[in-house]
């Protein structure tokens, strides 16, 4: 089976890790890289031994025979780049959040559907080893049906040092981290029918909100609370770990600090530690996230080869986008927002 040829558009902070993740999976060939800042594109090309370098995506798409493009740019450019690729029949993998608003996100999905072009969102958070184990434990019928869930992502990590552009985003934590955490909520608990949200800004040097609390009533009847913060100074400050508690009618599952997953049933609690794989190319502070890139890429490659379905299609991720903007609407109005299913 031949390697699939791909191009990367966007050569900023995340690009080297995304590319390394693809090469770790194998079965692909990086044919070209592109960035409006040509020096950035050349630096990535030199790092990975890529011969073709572009500073214009249209020129790249018109001149290179590629099977898919991995879009790793700022959110405002996701849609234009997706449309350019779709017009040429090139499969699209796009970083989160999909789009700056719901209308554009829907248009991206509709355009790729009309062109019969595969469209995926690189939503890697759900692919973290301990989170996958929580899902596996929830499938154990002995602990019963979930009636309440709590997902906590709260730390004081200086995220703006690596990505200073995030300071200027008017809608910050719900789009940046909410796209991950609300997707995890859907992965674990299914779809939501009602959303209530409160947000605040603690860091006076940024434009958007850095704290958000989202409460959802799920279709199953479970109540799920998601807490997000980059302003929290806690005992267990474990960036980028996510802590989860699932309460069921016959037991519970908890994901705590240092990747411990504990299951309580029949009056007994057992625990196992699910440490993510370490890769030489991963940042020590980000190894949990970077390991999940590999798992996500493997799933998407399988879909591109028609071997297995992708979990994070554009169609699926549109539901996460609906949650994000319903949360903003709730925060703006102070009222719960009903979602259509």
**pLDDT at residue number 299:** 98
Is the pTM above the cut of 0.85?
Answer: yes
**pLDDT at residue number 92:** 98
CATH number 3.40.50.720 given to 4-122: yes
By CB neighbour count within 10 A (0-12 exposed, 13-18 middle, 19+ buried), where does 58 fall?
A: middle
Residues of the chain with pLDDT under 50: none
How many CB atoms are located within 10 Å of the residue 208 CB? Answer: 18
The SS3 of residue 319 is helix
What does DSSP say about strands 223-229 and 146-154: parallel, antiparallel, or unpaired? Answer: parallel
**pLDDT at residue number 140:** 84
d(CA 113, CA 103) in angstroms, rounded, equals: 15
Tokens of 128: 């973290």
Tell the residue number behind the tokens 């849609």, with chain if given.
79
Distances (CA, A) of 142 to 116, 252, 270, 339: 42, 10, 14, 31
The residues facing 92 across adjacent strands are 69, 119
**pLDDT at residue number 186:** 98
Q: What are the helix and strand counts (H, E) for the chain?
A: 11, 15
Query: Domain 128-279+312-338 sits in which CATH superfamily?
Result: Dihydrodipicolinate Reductase; domain 2 (3.30.360.10)
Residue 60 contacts residue 50 (beta carbons within 8 Å)? no
Tokens of 235: 């005992």
**pLDDT at residue number 161:** 87
Distances (CA, A) of 57 to 54, 90, 197: 7, 12, 38
Q: Could you tell me the residue ranges of all domains in the chain?
A: 4-122, 128-279+312-338
Task: Fill in the DSSP letter of residue 250.
Answer: T
**pLDDT at residue number 19:** 98
Tokens of 7: 């191009």
**pLDDT at residue number 340:** 84
d(CA 80, CA 306) in angstroms, rounded, equals: 26
What confidence tens digit (pLDDT) does each residue in 122-170 have? 999 999 999 999 999 999 879 999 999 999 999 999 999 888 989 999 9
What does DSSP say about strands 243-248 and 251-255: parallel, antiparallel, or unpaired? Answer: antiparallel
């Amino acid at each position: 089976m031949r390697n699939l040829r791909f191009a990367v558009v966007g050569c900023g902070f995340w690009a080297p890790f995304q590319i390394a993740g693809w090469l770790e999976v194998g079965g692909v060939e990086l044919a070209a890289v592109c960035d409006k800042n040509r020096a950035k594109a050349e630096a990535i090309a030199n790092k990975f031994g890529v011969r073709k370098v572009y500073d214009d995506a249209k020129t790249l798409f018109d001149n290179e025979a590629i099977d898919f493009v991995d879009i790793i740019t700022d959110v405002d450019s996701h849609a234009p780049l997706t449309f350019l690729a779709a017009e040429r029949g090139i499969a699209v993998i796009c970083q989160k959040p999909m789009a700056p608003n719901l209308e554009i996100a829907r248009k991206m999905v509709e355009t790729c559907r009309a062109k019969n072009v595969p469209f995926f969102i690189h939503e890697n958070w759900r692919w973290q080893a301990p989170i996958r184990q929580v899902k596996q434990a929830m499938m154990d019928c002995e602990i019963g049906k979930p009636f309440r869930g709590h997902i906590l992502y709260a730390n004081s990590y200086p995220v703006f040092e690596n990505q200073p552009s995030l300071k200027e985003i008017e809608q910050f934590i719900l789009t940046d981290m909410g796209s991950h955490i609300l997707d995890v909520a859907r992965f674990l608990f299914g779809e939501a029918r009602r959303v209530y949200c409160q947000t605040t800004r603690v860091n006076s040097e940024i434009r958007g909100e850095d704290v958000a609390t989202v409460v959802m009533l799920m279709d199953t009847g479970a109540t799920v609370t998601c807490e997000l913060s980059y302003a929290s100074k806690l005992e267990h400050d474990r960036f980028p770990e996510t802590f989860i508690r699932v309460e069921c009618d016959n037991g519970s599952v908890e994901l705590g600090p240092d990747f411990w997953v504990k299951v309580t049933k029949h009056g007994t609690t057992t625990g196992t530690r699910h440490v993510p794989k370490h890769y030489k190319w991963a940042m020590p502070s980000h190894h949990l996230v970077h390991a999940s890139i590999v798992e996500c890429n493997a799933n998407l490659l399988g879909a591109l080869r028609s071997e297995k379905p992708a979990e994070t299609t554009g169609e699926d991720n549109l539901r996460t986008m609906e949650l994000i903007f319903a949360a903003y609407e709730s925060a703006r109005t102070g009222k719960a927002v009903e979602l259509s299913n």
